[in-house]
Structure 1
Amino acid sequence: MVFHALNIWDFFVLLMRVSIIAVVVVHVLLTKRDVGASIGWIGVTVLMPLTGGILYSMFGINRVHRRARRMVGQHPWRSRTMSSQWRREEEGNFAPLASMVSKLTGRPLLGGNAITALHDGDSAYPRMIEAIEGARHSVLMCSYIFRPDGIGRRFCHALVAAHRRGVQVRVMVDGVGSGYFDCGVGRILHGAGVPVGRFMHSMLPWRMPFINMRNHKKILVVDGLAGFMGGLNIGEENIAASRPAHPVSDTHFELAGPVVHQLSEAFARDWAFTRGEELTADIFFPPQVSHGQSLSRIVTAGPDMDLEKIEYTMLQAFTLARRSIRIMTPYFLPDDRFLTELALAALRGIEVDIVVPWHSNHTILDWARAANLPRFLDSGCRIWLARPPFNHSKLMVVDGHWSFVGSSNLDVRSLRLNFEINLEAYDDALAGRIDTFIATHRHVRLTHHDLDRRPLWLKMRDAAARLFLPYL
């Protein structure tokens, strides 16, 4: 009798294992585009059905994409960014890029913009707080990291004061980056009545937000007219004058002109996703006037309907390069497609300069980077190390004309798994300023000799770290 019961139990366990494997395999085959990821998930589930099934349900299913698909076409503000009054065409070598990105993003290239680079929190924070303090109608703010430290509380004070004088304030922070168990700024702002959204935050295991699908965007729009975006989080480590223990340099950008409409739209989409509130009022999308000569456009990317759009934009720009490609990034762990395009550019005589920090704030990423760099050196790319402090800027210039800046790092996580926002600009003057800034951080050139003379144990460590490249 006991033997019979055991047979029934064994049969039930076997049936459950086979069912889990079948469900995961079918879902992977129908939804996963990456062959490596597909093989990995199927392999783990076949070897460990229960564990693999649980992990896949938590980390393998892109619920964001499904929800985003349902939300497409539901935003009445979208047409406001399409005003023919500000649409402009790019001429010359980059015309194919401008046309491609228009089709890729559905956003037009807009003229009449002014773009100002702000380096470090010392110069950016005062401008941002001043704009919030002068707000009359609306403030939209999003930050991946928003610390409740001294500078964070100054921002909170300005946001609360704006809310109390009748300004429509909306603040969104990432559900992990700004504190998973305790979100200090969320408590402060919510306690004062300011609407706050925590992006992709949940304590439920099957909606676990760790690791993937983070909102890495940094956005501030005041009265729909003054915009700020770039790589700068909110924290005292970004203020050099405060002499932090671990200082972080960064670059942010102040925007004025029609492209601010697109910045507002990017925030409004994420806000609708997070809080379910549609920001359709005119105070968020007022009429624009010309502020400069820059042709600009916002490009968003994420594991939803914007999948890989920032990466595609970069790859297309590399193919059009005729003289130079300058890149500055805090984390440099791109995939083989990125490597191929940069290598081909270098092989056809383009000057390719890549500036990375001497040490970043993520040691394992530095190890993996060291093992990945020889392939770029082999093709003729020049790798430069920037001395401390750690620079978190994400900057790109091609041929001294096209610039691409924003929140996106050059690693697989940022390009495919996070929600990011970048700005492209067809502007010689802006490109020249960014190019010069990148050049000033080309402190030490890295060579094959530097990498080859490392001890064997370091090479083994770095090579092992590189195996986790898709997950770093």
Structure 2
Amino acid sequence: MTTNDFALFLSLLHIAMASAVTVHALLTRLAPQSTIGWIGLAWLSPYIGPVLYFLFGVNRVRRKAIKLTGPDGDVDAPHSPFALSPEAIERRGEVHLEPLAKFGLRLTGRPLLDGNSFTPLIDGDNAYPAMIAAIEEASISVAIGSFIFHDDEGGGPIIDALIEAQKRGVAVRVLVDGIGSGYLRSPVCARLMANGVRAERFMHEVAPWKMSFVNLRSHKKVLVVDGRHGFTGGMNIAAVNLFRKIEIPPSKAVQDVHFRVEGPVVAHLMETFAEDWAFTTSEVLEGAPWFPEIGAAGDVPARGIASGPDEDNEKLMWTMAAAIGRADRSVRILTPYFVPDDRITSQLTLAAVRGVDVELVIPERSNHLYMDWAMNALFAPLLRAGCVIRRAPGPFDHSKLMTVDGAWVLLGSGNWDARSLRLNFEFNVEAYSAAFVATCDAIIDAKVQGSRIVTLDDLRRRSLVARLRDSATRLASPYL
């Protein structure tokens, strides 16, 4: 082959690869910006662009899920006698939230379930002992999933409790993320499996040619004991969450909020774990050990919302947007990161313009400096519309809460960024209860003590270099 022939071959290969990316992106991707970006990268970066698209731009997760479960193969919780119609919210006195309840039913296919209670667990000092106590009392089954699960002073005692539960005959299943809990080696899985506990890593591949799932992580945090007692929220399992109890460098310490959940909605927690477990292992968890009949434990109507790249739509994002759209009086958001797409920022801007009190609480400094830069570039339009943005003092706060009109709350694993809203597998719970929302608002109030209000002057005083840096980082927000 001559030099000219080889050059022609490389040119034709580039055209073929870029054309394949163009066809696939046009047929499968919905967002115009990302579609244009990937097509441009494929044509302007010969060979490298198409390879990057193959690794990070193709959603194989949904295809794998469909192949595994089939159109009717989802793991579904049994029908509950505590299922509520959306109209029940109107009868409880929140007329304007009834459409939101109806929207949630259509979006998720899950009914609101009455009869629940939620107990906040602030930081690992409160959450981990409660979780360990529940595992120690387990008699039938334990299912636990987490993005980060370390075998250290935070996770070690939980691992010990899981091993002891397995020894006394409890069916234990542990699912951790294939990157968040250790990519090359997962100490938590190694110790559990060495002691006979079934532990798996979610979408974990070592071979480079199988790394197409590297950008799609399970960010869920769920524990269900005996199918009846649940824990969920935003808290990972690691020593950094015990900064009040053990010596942790201030730059590593993490604040967070988790919740003990009792009542029929625990079945939704179990359902999302069972689906992820079946996705990972092909083992279907079903029957009374995992889905028993659950009686009322309180008076809070609630619904679980699972979202991820295997779903037909962006359920978490649309839930947030719908709640903002129904707000009459207030929207309060507590989140470690705030880099959503324009659909969310536009909804918040419109809410503020029509007179809703919109309050955003973020850390003074996050654990990822580039996230702070990207957030800075998003604030000006919100501030001009009348939103209040507060930066709360450290340690870094990983908590996630959203309340609307003192009557509705969203809690769970999802952050307000593109990764949680588009790429990650997340689990959240929406609840309709003035009393419970008051509890959550009190948590937010405590977080803002000593906070600093961000102003337009603060943003303008940044140097030109800083503003350029922040704006450039924002361009990468869909992948941060």
- TM-score w.r.t. length of structure 1: 0.96
Deviations 1:364-395 (A, max 9, x none): 10111112111210111000110111111000
**Maintained 8 Å contact 1:76/1:280:** no
Q: Does 1:465 align with 2:473?
A: yes
**Maintained 8 Å contact 1:75/1:278:** no
The answer for the alignment partner of 1:291 in structure 2 is: 297
Task: Give the direction of change, closer, same or farther, for the CA distance of 1:383–1:289 in structure 2 (3 Å limit).
Answer: same
**Maintained 8 Å contact 1:307/1:416:** no
Distance in 2 of aligned mates of 1:90 and 1:197: 40
**Most deviating of 386-395 and 9-18:** 9-18
The answer for the alignment partner of 1:220 in structure 2 is: 223
Distance in 2 of aligned mates of 1:218 and 1:282: 22
**Cα deviation, residue 72, structure 1:** 4.4
The answer for the alignment partner of 1:424 in structure 2 is: 430
**Cα deviation, residue 338, structure 1:** 0.6
Deviations 1:241-266 (A, max 9, x none): 11311211100011111100111000
**Cα deviation, residue 210, structure 1:** 6.8
The answer for the alignment partner of 1:24 in structure 2 is: 21
Distance in 2 of aligned mates of 1:446 and 1:405: 25
RMSD: 1.5
The answer for the alignment partner of 1:110 in structure 2 is: 113
Task: Give the direction of change, closer, same or farther, for the CA distance of 1:289–1:153 in structure 2 (3 Å limit).
Answer: same
Q: Does 1:48 align with 2:45?
A: yes
**Cα deviation, residue 73, structure 1:** 4.1
Q: Equivalent residue of 2:360, what SS? A: strand
Q: Equivalent residue of 1:405, what SS? A: strand
**Maintained 8 Å contact 1:367/1:462:** yes
The answer for the alignment partner of 2:260 in structure 1 is: 254
Unaligned 5+ runs, structure 2: none
The answer for the alignment partner of 1:357 in structure 2 is: 363
Matched AA of 1:368: A
**Cα deviation, residue 176, structure 1:** 0.5
**Maintained 8 Å contact 1:176/1:209:** no
The structure 1 residue matched to 2:175, chosen from 169, 172, 175, is: 172
Matched AA of 2:56: F
Q: Does 1:405 align with 2:411?
A: yes
**Maintained 8 Å contact 1:308/1:416:** yes
Aligned residues: 468
Q: Does 1:94 align with 2:97?
A: yes
**Cα deviation, residue 18, structure 1:** 2.1
The answer for the alignment partner of 2:315 in structure 1 is: 309
Q: Equivalent residue of 2:245, what SS? A: helix
Unaligned 5+ runs, structure 1: none
**Pairwise mapping of residues 12-411 of structure 1 onto structure 2 (< 5 A)?**
12-70=9-67, 71-75=69-73, 77-78=75-76, 80=78, 82-88=79-85, 89-91=88-90, 92-208=95-211, 212-239=215-242, 240-245=244-249, 246-305=252-311, 307-411=313-417
**Maintained 8 Å contact 2:306/2:426:** yes
**Cα deviation, residue 53, structure 1:** 1.7
Task: Give the direction of change, closer, same or farther, for the CA distance of 1:227–1:47 in structure 2 (3 Å limit).
Answer: same
**Most deviating of 100-109 and 203-212:** 203-212
Task: Give the direction of change, closer, same or farther, for the CA distance of 1:211–1:380 in structure 2 (3 Å limit).
Answer: farther
Distance in 2 of aligned mates of 1:84 and 1:448: 52
Q: Equivalent residue of 1:102, what SS? A: helix
Distance in 2 of aligned mates of 1:380 and 1:68: 43
**Maintained 8 Å contact 1:58/1:205:** no
Task: Give the direction of change, closer, same or farther, for the CA distance of 1:306–1:125 in structure 2 (3 Å limit).
Answer: farther
Matched AA of 2:358: V
**Maintained 8 Å contact 2:55/2:213:** no
**Maintained 8 Å contact 1:302/1:419:** yes
- TM-score w.r.t. length of structure 2: 0.95
**Cα deviation, residue 282, structure 1:** 1.5
Task: Give the direction of change, closer, same or farther, for the CA distance of 1:10–1:450 in structure 2 (3 Å limit).
Answer: closer
Distance in 1 of aligned mates of 2:353 and 2:113: 34
**Most deviating of 239-248 and 400-409:** 239-248
**Cα deviation, residue 9, structure 1:** 2.7
Q: Does 1:451 align with 2:426?
A: no
**Maintained 8 Å contact 2:307/2:425:** yes
**Maintained 8 Å contact 2:144/2:224:** yes
Task: Give the direction of change, closer, same or farther, for the CA distance of 1:378–1:140 in structure 2 (3 Å limit).
Answer: same
**Maintained 8 Å contact 1:300/1:306:** no
Q: Equivalent residue of 2:260, what SS? A: strand
